Structure 1
Amino acid sequence: MPRGLAAGTQETEAQRALMRGHGWSGRSTATDFEAFYAHRSGGPRQALTGELESGRCPRALDGVSKRGSTAMESTQSPNSHQGDAHTPKVVREAIVEIVSDSGEGAQKAGQSFATVCAKSGNGVWTVEIIPAEIKPPSRSRAGASGIRIRLGSDKITNMGDEADLVVGFNEQVLYGRIMNNAFREGTVILLESKWDRDPDEQIRDMYASAVEDFRSRGLIVHELAMHEACLEYTPDPRLGKNMFVLGMLCWIYQRDPDLALKEISTIFARKGEKVVQSNQRLFEGGRKFARENLTYCFEVPAMKTKQDLIVTNGNQAVGLGVMASGMDIVSMYPITPATSATHYLSGVFQKAGGFIHQAEDEIAAIGFAIGASYAGKTACTITSGPGLALKTEFIGLAVMAEVPLVIVDVQRG
């Protein structure tokens, strides 16, 4: 039986053809996609959302969602914005990825989607997809940048296995995820199709070859003209396609558009009302595009809990841990993907009596922390893999001199 079909599921000829890799372009039906979610709707999974007491988080109210309502457990649309006959299929959980070149906003779209899901009552876990290079070449296999979002009707405790649905901004970055075994037979790929019409013949050939290869691997590929659809709302889709994709995902997973529109307002508030409205139009455009081009949608019911939950990420959790443990000093040099930990702390650490130092390099950052610790302060330095390598000699000094020191290594995935 092809992977993705639950035991006892009756295969149709269309499903067998799909699983053999004979995908198609254009509209898709709900029946064709029920199979790849069948194994996820059979029962509860172990899971997580950051269940932290809101009083311990200075920004907790940004993501607080009251629990106890079971309204979203209906198989009908959870909001009044749909206006059509789409009936969502209820699933217990879903793993979604958005993958692009660096700088296309895939992570922001995914973080926004995760926040909307968490505020809707779902358990959520996100993992950023970070390339090794700071600015890798566009359309390169090693340059995959993006995010994975796992949402469920229970607490989610890890990022899960293979993805159920992937939005790809180009075909080459998807190979980086394939090499990481992130997809499975039956994974749905919503792929930007503009490369099929690129002026460069080599790019057109690479695209066509990749699509054929994806289908031979059992992936269900849908070639969608997202770039062209975005042109209706912005002259430069590269700067707005992420919010368009957010709209698509909110349609597919039946998220409340009002929550998403409010999240967009929060994200772009500092850039002015014009930018906010532009991104909200792109979001609505993505919802409309998905509604008109995809005839399937899903609903992941909310968790049954009356506890208040917050929306946070790993780096914010590190910041909370720094404050809760009574640290006096954090010293670091900016490095992806660790920097946002100090971005968060810079807004709240001083209120907790802490001090942040941005050093001129990685070696100076750990040296500052060791010196502060030797002088009697509890000290921490935050970095990632390459920065940790540069700190090696000073780590040796701290070990030999028995100087207390906390080192946080935010790993690249």
Structure 2
Amino acid sequence: MRQVVAAVKYAHAHGIAHRDLKPENVCFCSSAAAASGFGDVKVVDWGAAFRFREAPMRTAIGSVAYSAPELSKPAEGYTEACDLWSLGVTAYVALCGKPPFWGDHQNQLRCMKDEQYPLDEAPWDKISGDAKGWVRSLLRADPAHRLAAAAALEHPWLKRPRGFARTPLCARDVFSTIRDSASYSATSSLFAALVAKQLDHQSLQQITKIFRDLDADGNGSLALGDLRRGFEEAFGADGVELRDVAAVFQHMNLAGTGSVGYTEFCAAALWRSDAISDEALRVAFREFDRNDKVKKELAACAPASCDIPVRDSFSQEFRQWLAKAGRRPSASHRQAERAHSKSTCSLWSRACSVVTGRGRSGNPSGERTAREPSCLEVAWGEPAAGLLLSPFAV
């Protein structure tokens, strides 16, 4: 349930209401997790979602049994608090196996408004007071009196210990990779973000667990202090690696928001991953090079120093995010970018090899490959778009 609430908090922070939360729209990420009843879950079916900051919500939508009472008069408008009511009903059903309200629609609506539902008889007599208190705090008829998603996530029932005790070696390896990724250019990092979008849950499982452990407030992004804490737990408080944390954090902040999102974290952690399939690299490369201009240069084995006319070759979404990350660079930024572009990341090298059919990894001896395009070759100043993943929702 904590993961589901975290997904709702993340969506609400980005101005999106799901509007159809129910058990059927919470799915386990693997068959093993489903069989055991434990493991990672995702919130799915966002077809009824709405950007509530752009316009008022006045449509009755979603499953009636899980819909908040204010949706009985949708023309008056309602807020994202409707999702919190649905979470309360979902938790109620998960805990006792029955819905809190039944009978015809009018009877259900009356009980909703009166906040009348069983919480004392079996099996509730064996369920913790924290769990029952959490349900009560969400099944409030007045939306203004319901817990917000952030507060619901901080409730004692959903509190859990944090840290890397379960996978210390994996955490150390991930943070070593993140530290090394700071030597690559912004364009390489953005390409890695495109690769991350193509990977399934299994490929990102360990990275996701570490990100969640670092995300202290569950908002789907990391502050510098969160990353520093991860480095300290991985390398020790006196580790020499901690000297670079601020610079690494700045490099990871591709979207220029002042925090590191899940996509950016995945991009930095993927550099040395050998588990990435060739197909994922092909799909990411196609997204990166919509007009085949980079691919044509690869096919021609052009000199590494030649100019690639990539200004129009990226997809719109990728160019918009790249524009936000690069801004309008200064002369010093240009010099740094040119220096960075001489260092080609392993993912980019593998992608070039896969696309040209020259092997799974590396560059055949004596052959030239296309240089990595610079951020400066992309049109600047376009409105930013969210090329973002969420660790909680799909």
**1 or 2, which has the higher strand percentage?**
1
- Normalised by the size of structure 1, how large is the TM-score? 0.26
TM-score of the aligned structures, taking structure 2 as reference length: 0.27
The structure that is helix-richer by fraction is 2
